[in-house]
């Protein structure tokens, strides 16, 4: 695999230009109130750079939520623009209404791209987390104007490039659910990582394919291909936390993988496995991690948290992504240069599965 190189906004001639800046301000909004503005703050370096370099206007483009092509008053961008203006006091800053109110956005429609392009002289994408989608403002628009990657996007790609070409003592950890969607990713990772640890519901699929009992655990409809199941460098947990079907939060117990009963559900890594995997992290130079090790949102956080702690206490560099994984890390303070948390869950997985190719990145390549 080769490194992905994008045209950086640092190299753009910005002075006097009207810049269309595509960001991902898809922040949690409750009754028009912003719950978490991390995504807004993430765009500030690019906006500052554009202003310093003399941009005449910055027209911010974003989507919020999934209005599915209909105008939805609860998903209007007004609160986002006011919050942004609290950080950047500049008359040059403006924002268009939620792009997804127009069905042509998600359809990748050329006519919408043309209407947007007419408002600017150049285009900057600083929305890595949306770059796996070939939407009008992500791809068609980038083709109509001189187009560049924003600083946040450049930074994401620099870190993810490292995950594509990891140093020798590296470890990949993949959790979450939906084995069938992650199978191409696992194949790619096995080509470059010495070991891939599989947790979460993905592990259930692997254990089942290896002939072990999984009770009533969540498994994919499609079986794991035999060759993949037989891959020794694909590591499944050795012990688990299991919960009885009837009372899923009350009387869970620890069980060896051979001892899961027919009425039990796998909900997390066992203590022994979590400890062994923490040691593997400590012995690595680089760790890639996406996805929780258990049913995180139901409180089965121990496996995930143990690995997060191990990562913080280690000296390895790491790239991770996915909502639950990021939440596990967020409980601790750490050096964001050593442990990079991607803004993209889905985009990160697709980037890694496709060897760095994503629809909205491919149009920005040098």
Interface contacts to ligand ADP, rule CB under 6 A:
176-178, 200-201, 204, 217-218, 266-267, 291-292, 294-297, 322
Of residues 150 and 175, the one with the C-beta less far from ligand ADP: 175
Contacted entry of Mg ion, ligand ADP, none for residue 257, CB cut-off 5 to 8 Å set by kind: none
CB 257 within 8 A of CB 209: no
Contacted entry of Mg ion, ligand ADP, none for residue 297, CB cut-off 5 to 8 Å set by kind: ligand ADP
φ/ψ region of 95 (left if φ > 0, alpha if ψ in -120 to 50, else beta) reads beta
Contacted entry of Mg ion, ligand ADP, none for residue 9, CB cut-off 5 to 8 Å set by kind: none
- For the bound state, the minimum distance from the C-beta of residue 349 to ligand ADP, rounded and expressed in Å, comes to 8
Give the binding range for Mg ion (CB under 5 A) out of 5-13, 197-205, 234-242, 318-326: 318-326
d(CA 82, CA 96): 13
Strand pairing class (29-30; 253-256): unpaired
Give 82's contacts (C-beta < 8 A, 6+ positions apart): none
Of residues 104 and 182, the one with the C-beta less far from ligand ADP: 182
Of residues 49 and 218, the one with the C-beta less far from ligand ADP: 218
- For the bound state, the minimum distance from the C-beta of residue 85 to Mg ion, rounded and expressed in Å, comes to 31
Angle between helices 302-313 and 271-282 (to 10 degrees): 20
* CB atoms closer than 10 angstroms to residue 217: 21
Of residues 237 and 345, the one with the C-beta less far from Mg ion: 345
Cβ-closest position to ligand ADP: 176
Q: In the window 324-363, what residues touch Mg ion (CB under 5 A)?
A: 345
Strand pairing class (170-174; 195-198): parallel
- For the bound state, the minimum distance from the C-beta of residue 304 to ligand ADP, rounded and expressed in Å, comes to 9
Contacted entry of Mg ion, ligand ADP, none for residue 356, CB cut-off 5 to 8 Å set by kind: none
Of residues 20 and 347, the one with the C-beta less far from Mg ion: 347
Q: How many residues does the chain have?
A: 366
Interface pattern 264-303 for Mg ion (x via CB under 5 A) = ----------------------------------------
Contacted entry of ligand ADP, Mg ion, none for residue 344, CB cut-off 5 to 8 Å set by kind: none
Pick from 98, 30, 107, 95: nearest CA to 57: 95
CB 293 within 8 A of CB 305: no
Q: What is the DSSP string of 243-278?
A: EESSSTTTS-EEEEGGG--TTEEEEEE-HHHHHHHH
| Binding-residue total with Mg ion (CB under 5 A) | 2
DSSP state of 31: T
Report the interface residues with Mg ion, using CB under 5 A. 322, 345
């Amino acid at each position: 695999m080769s490194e992905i190189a994008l045209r950086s906004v640092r190299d753009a001639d910005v002075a006097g230009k009207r810049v269309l800046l595509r960001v991902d301000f898809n922040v949690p909004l409750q009754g028009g109130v912003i719950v978490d503005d991390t995504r807004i703050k993430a765009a500030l370096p690019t906006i500052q750079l554009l202003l310093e370099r003399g941009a005449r206007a910055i027209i911010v483009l974003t989507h919020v939520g999934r209005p599915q092509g209909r105008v939805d008053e609860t998903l209007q961008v007004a609160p986002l623009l006011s919050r942004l203006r609290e950080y950047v006091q500049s008359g040059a800053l403006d924002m268009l209404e939620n792009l997804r109110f127009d069905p042509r956005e998600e359809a990748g429609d050329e006519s919408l791209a043309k209407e947007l392009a007419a408002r600017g002289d150049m285009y900057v994408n600083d929305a890595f987390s949306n770059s796996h989608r070939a939407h009008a403002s992500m791809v068609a628009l980038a083709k109509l104007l001189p187009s560049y990657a924003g600083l946040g996007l450049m930074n994401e790609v620099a870190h993810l490039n490292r995950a594509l070409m990891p140093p020798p003592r590296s470890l990949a950890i993949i959790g979450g659910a939906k084995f069938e969607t992650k199978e191409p990713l696992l194949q790619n990772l096995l080509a470059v990582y010495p070991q891939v640890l599989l947790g979460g519901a993905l592990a259930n699929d692997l254990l089942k394919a290896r002939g072990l009992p999984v009770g009533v655990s969540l498994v994919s409809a499609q079986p794991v291909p035999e060759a993949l199941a037989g891959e020794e460098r694909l590591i499944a947990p050795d012990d688990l936390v299991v919960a009885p079907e009837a009372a899923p939060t009350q009387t869970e117990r620890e069980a060896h993988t051979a001892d899961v009963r027919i009425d039990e559900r796998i909900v997390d890594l066992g203590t022994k496995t979590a400890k062994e995997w923490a040691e593997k992290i400590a012995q690595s130079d680089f760790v890639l991690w996406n996805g929780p090790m258990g049913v995180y949102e139901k409180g089965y956080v121990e496996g995930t948290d143990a690995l997060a702690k191990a990562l913080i206490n280690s000296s390895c560099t790491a790239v991770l992504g996915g909502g639950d994984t990021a939440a596990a890390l967020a409980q601790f303070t750490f050096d964001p240069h050593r442990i990079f948390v991607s803004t993209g869950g889905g985009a990160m997985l697709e980037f890694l599965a496709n060897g760095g190719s994503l629809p909205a990145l491919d149009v920005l390549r040098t």
